[in-house]
Chain A
Amino acid sequence: MNIAYSTELICFLILSAVIISGSLAVVLLENIVYSAFLLGGVFMAVSGLYLLLNASFVAAAQILVYVGAVNVLILFAIMLVNKKEKLKPIEGLKTRKLISGAICGGLLVLLLRVSITTKWNLPGPSSIGEEATERIGEHLFTDYLLPFELASILLLMAMIGAIVLARRDISMPTNKIDNLKNEKSLIDKKIPLLSENSLK
């Protein structure tokens, strides 16, 4: 066992421990803010795994997309609506927890069975390292052009939807606007600093 191999092994063990314990904590912690921050940590550990597999571009993209965009948006949403309220105790919470736990355990057993019974082609193909960036680009614009374009159309739709939701003024009923105008004129009467008369 040489130094490079043992370093890799130690890194792998640490990263997998972080991923497993982190994702368990994301699910099990009561405090939603902690869960969100830990999710970011898990994403970073996953990108560490990609680095170990010599896929540096995927690792950087993982950090950029998942940590820099997805996780920040989740945190943003949590902090903008950070209302501390007592949740009502739900009836039969224990049986619910048991059922969901059993389903997750079953899924784990299924995946373990797949990973054990499959004849993996070991050692896998050698990694292409720095060339990967070019290869990914090539594939995106040849073999995977259709999924790539479809994904971009999906994102565009989501963006337009967000704009429509954010611009509430488009679909505001007219009587509401009139009410608003009345209220505004009341305010203007109270504070006649810059009313139409003063401008004359």
Chain B
Amino acid sequence: MNSGIDLEMSFTQGVQNLGLSQELAHLLWIPLPMLLVLIAAVIGVLVTVWLERKISAAAQQRIGPEYAGALGILQPMADGLKLLVKEDIIPARADSLLFTVGPILVLVPVILSWLIVPFGQNLLISNVGIGIFLWIALSSIQPIGLLMSGYSSNNKYSLLGGLRAAAQSISYEIPLALAVLAVVMMSNSLSTVDIVEQQNTAGFLSWNIWRQPVGFIIFWICALAECERLPFDLPEAEEELVAGYQTEYAGMKFALFYLAGYINLVLSALLVSVLYLGGWGFPISIDWFSSLIGISIDNPLVQITAASLGIVMTVLKAYLLVFLAILLRWTTPRVRIDQLLDLGWKFLLPISLVNLLVTASLKLAFPMTFGG
């Protein structure tokens, strides 16, 4: 395998040439990828909001936003600006401390999870060994924030919405983790980089989706449920609960929920592409392609092309999934709360257990194709 471009090395060396110590150079490097990924996440949200508006309009035979920028592309900016300058209201009988901390607790774990999303060989903030497990652990903090904001609003709809959100999140986390576990078992590693690399041996044929079709569907359903997207948006079901836990929120605090929801959606789509669709891998193996046209893989031009192609591929796959999620949201009816819990506990959990068992036995029977 090629080692790819190491931006950190070149940056620290460049700074050291200016006469700074190695530690200081490292310290200067640390915030750069974080900032970059944060900006990428926010831009991803803006694009997703625009897509949501346009696709929902298309689904309902409307035009959608069209005056703010070309094709209404600046509409999400206008939305954000509006929320930014709105009055920040805290209800009189609400618990103002918990009311403020709640949305923050919802948003922070989602942003932290971007730590492990790889856009290329070395293009991620940190290749931590526990990789995908970190995401599962962090996403389990979210229900606390939801319960907190639901409780502190001092409103029965908020409380019910918060409780529903927590119940839903706990129920769907188990099949989600089991689906991830099957993938981890095949790639012998929790690290997202290893998981992608193990899939990119023979172009799109070696993607995990062919070996884990059931796992892919389980993961996608659970990811939608964790993001509270429409077939499963019980916690904020408008007709029953006004807006669930966000009923009393306005202005920037509401925007935090909004942002967390969309960042989580983009993150889930990225992780589906990492776990099942080969991450940054091009459908045709780059190694094979470069050997075909007779250029060494270590050629800087090939390296840069491969890296940018990797970023484009990751984002493209993720946005195809986001498109699917938006389409699902505007075309499917909402399930009932008992159906939701039934689906989670009586259907997805047994299926994911069987999937894990089958994966384990296939791994023992065919160690070549299922990772030895």
Contacts and interface: CB of A to CB of B under 8 A. Distances in A.
Contacts of A172: none
A90 interface: no
A113 B295 CA distance: 69
B144 A37 contact: yes
A79 B151 contact: yes
Interface string B104-136: 000000000000000000000000111001101
Contact of A72 (B98, B128, B147, B151): B147
Contacts of B138: 63
A4 interface: yes
Contacts of A79: 147, 150-151, 159, 162-163
B140 A68 contact: yes
Contact of A80 (B129, B163, B190): B163
B347 to A, nearest CB: 17
A137 to B, nearest CB: 11
A93 interface: no
Q: How large is the interface on B (under 10, 10 to 19, 20 to 34, 35 or more residues)?
A: 20 to 34
Contact of A75 (B27, B141, B144): B144
A69 B143 CA distance: 10
B166 interface: yes
B274 to A, nearest CB: 18
Contacts of A129: 129
Interface string B144-155: 100110110000
Nearest to B135: A60
B113 to A, nearest CB: 12
Nearest to A131: B129
Interface in A26-58: 33, 37, 40, 44, 56-57
Given A69-B140, A69-B170, A75 B129 contact: no
Nearest to A76: B166
B129 A3 contact: no
A64 B137 contact: yes
Contacts of B133: 57, 60, 64
Nearest to A33: B151
Nearest to B97: A34
A102 interface: no
Contacts of A37: 98, 144, 148
The binding surface of chain B is classed by DSSP as helix
A130 interface: yes
A56 B132 CA distance: 12
Interface in B5-62: 23-24, 27
B173 interface: yes
B129 A71 contact: no
Nearest to A7: B27
A63 B108 CA distance: 14
B166 A68 contact: no
A132 B137 CA distance: 17
A4 B129 contact: no
A133 interface: yes
B107 to A, nearest CB: 15
Contacts of A132: 129
A63 to B, nearest CB: 4
A4 B26 CA distance: 11
Considering residues A69, A71, A75, A132, which has the most beta carbons from chain B within 10 angstroms of its beta carbon? A75
A60 B151 contact: no
B283 to A, nearest CB: 31
A171 interface: no
B137 A61 contact: yes
A44 B142 CA distance: 13
User: Closest 4 interchain pairs by CB?
Assistant: A68-B140, A130-B129, A60-B137, A64-B137
25 contacts: A3-B24, A37-B144, A40-B144, A57-B133, A60-B130, A60-B137, A61-B137, A63-B140, A63-B141, A64-B136, A64-B137, A68-B141, A68-B143, A72-B140, A72-B143, A72-B144, A72-B147, A75-B144, A76-B147, A76-B166, A76-B167, A80-B163, A129-B129, A130-B128, A131-B129
Interface of A: 2-4, 33, 37, 40, 44, 56-57, 60-61, 63-64, 67-69, 71-72, 75-76, 79-80, 82, 129-133
